[in-house]
Amino acid sequence: MRRSFWQRFFSPITLFLWAFRIVVILAILVGSFRTLTAGKYAGDQWIDVIVFGLSQGSIYALIALGYTMVYGILRMINFAHGEIFMSGAYTAYFVAAAFLSSGFLNRNPVVSLLVVIAVAMATSTAIALLVERIAYRPLRRAPRLVPLISAIGASFFLQYTFRGFFGAGFQAYPDWNVLKGEVVLAGIGVLRTQAVAIVGALFLMTVLYLFVMRTKTGTAMRAVSEDMEVAAMMGIDVDRIIVITFGVGAAAAGAAGVLYALVFRQVWFFMGFVPGIKAFTAAVLGGIGNIPGAMVGGIFLGLIESAGPILFLDGLGIPSPNQLKDVIAFVMLVMVLIFRPTGILGERLATKKA
């Protein structure tokens, strides 16, 4: 069974994977080249697309934080996290609608926005803690598949609870007068709602980052994420930390829900599903368990998704490229998982025993 160096290097699977890589990269390069040389899109359009991607991406980033933190500690994909995001959006809708009808909304826009975000964060946190208590905690020691199914069940349950409570239709988000129109930053026209989304997301991410890096609780969270057993031996109340992790992630997702509703103007019970998957993609892209990674991954995903179709798909002559927006996101996901599962910034997971 002597294997020469060459035989090994060119084993069919390695060849296949290389071919795969090359095809994708070529497709991107060729497509981009052709689009850019054809000059079909004006500078304005590119900027629009980039700004949109940034705002979309920052929302993904906020949601991704929850996924990445929970996976980092419990090695569990919180399938219901998308619904937590949705609950934040719904709460925002109700509170904002109430403010709108009383006129409070437009008299004190900043205060009402803050209140809306605060209430949304509180609700989503409460729901997430309930889910953790009922559907996840009893299954902490079960084999991996069991909590996954429970999470899927929780996801369905939440979706259809909201549908049952609030109806199956789309609810239109109220118009904030002060948020209508554009604002010009550095010569670039940005929709106000998008600006709020980007700024808000960045602010929250910074707060969260500082929380995790600088506070005692944050350090405890990182310790539990590194090695749950040793952390327990150091006197950390692991259960409490897990609850806090869920809570913080949920708060971020709730806020993301508010921002999403601001930008996209509607809420419905199923809205959490696709952003949920995309946000998880973002978390994996950036390196699961890695908080800055989730942020980077989110923004990166948002940009690629937004710019991708017109950047390279169009250049390849694919009709209706925007239909395949999600395909780009998923191809990205699969590529990362195959070739660099640790993500762009590297994963940070609880260590397994040797």
Partner 1 sequence: MITRRPRWTSYLGIGAVTGGVAVFLALVGMVETFSRRQIIVGVISLGHALLLLTGLASGYAAGRRAGRPAAALGGGVLAGAATGVVVAAFVVLGTSVDFRHMFVASSPGLYDILTFARGRAGLPLVVLAWTLVSVVGAGLALLPATIRRPAFAGAVTVIFLGLFQELLQLTLQEGTVQTLLRGFLFTGDGLLPRGALTGFAVAAVGSIASWRWGATVRGRARSMPPRSRRISAYTALLLAVIILFYLPRIVGEFPSQVLVFVGLFTLMGLGLNLEVGFAGLLDLGFVAFFAIGAYTVALLTTPEKYAIAQFSFWLAVPVALVVSLVAGVFFGLPILGIRGDYLAIATLGFGEIMRLLVLSDFLKPWLGGSRGIINLPKPIIFGYEFKEFGQLFWITIVASAFIAFVAARLRDSRLGRSWMAIREDEDVAEAMGINTVTSKLLAYGIGGAFAGMGGAIFAVMIGSVFPHSFNLLVSINTLALIIVGGMGSLPGVIVGSLFLVGLPELLREFAEFRYLVYGAVLILMMIVRPEGLWPEAARARELHAEEAPAPAAEEALAAVGSDGEA
Partner 2 sequence: MAILTARDVTKRFGGLVALSDLDLDVEERSLHSIIGPNGAGKTTFFNCVTGFYRAEEGRVTFDGLPLEGLRPDEITQLGIARTYQNIRLFANMTCLENVLVGMHVHLRSTWVDALLRSPRMRREEAEAYREARRLLEYVGLKGKGDLLAKALPYGEQRRLEIARALATKPKLLLLDEPTAGMNPRESMDTMAFIRRLRDDLGITILLIEHNMRVVMGISEIITVLDFGEKIAEGPPEQVRNDPRVIEAYLGTRRIAGVGA
Residues making contact with partner 1 (CB under 8 A): 13, 16-17, 20, 71, 75-77, 94, 134-135, 138-139, 141-150, 152-161, 163-168, 277, 280-281, 284, 318-320, 323-324, 326-327, 330-331, 333-334, 337-338, 341
In angstroms, give the least distance from the CB of 64 to partner 1.
Answer: 13
In angstroms, give the least distance from the CB of 76 to partner 1.
Answer: 8
Q: Burial level of 41, CB count in 10 A (0-12/13-18/19+)?
A: middle
Separation of alpha carbons 123 and 250, rounded Å: 9
CB 268 within 8 A of CB 171: yes
Task: Summarize the chain as % helix, strand, coil (round to 5).
Answer: 75, 5, 20
Residues 6+ apart with CB under 8 A from 206: none
| Binding partner at 153 among partner 2, partner 1, none, C-beta below 5 to 8 Å by kind | partner 1
Q: Which of 305, 258, 261 is nearest to 279 (CA)?
A: 305
- Name which of 52 and 93 has its Cβ closer to partner 1: 93
Helix (H, G, I), strand (E, B) or coil at 174: coil
| Binding partner at 353 among partner 2, partner 1, none, C-beta below 5 to 8 Å by kind | partner 2
| Binding partner at 284 among partner 1, partner 2, none, C-beta below 5 to 8 Å by kind | partner 1
- Name which of 54 and 332 has its Cβ closer to partner 1: 332
Q: How many CB atoms lie within 10 A of CB 168?
A: 11
| Binding partner at 2 among partner 2, partner 1, none, C-beta below 5 to 8 Å by kind | partner 2
Apex 120 CA angle, 97 and 286, nearest 5: 130
| Binding partner at 281 among partner 1, partner 2, none, C-beta below 5 to 8 Å by kind | partner 1
- Name which of 124 and 159 has its Cβ closer to partner 1: 159
CB 292 within 8 A of CB 345: yes
- Name which of 144 and 353 has its Cβ closer to partner 2: 353
- Name which of 216 and 352 has its Cβ closer to partner 1: 352
Binding positions for partner 2, rule: CB under 8 A: 1-3, 5, 8, 353-354
For residue 322 the two structure tokens come to 């925007």
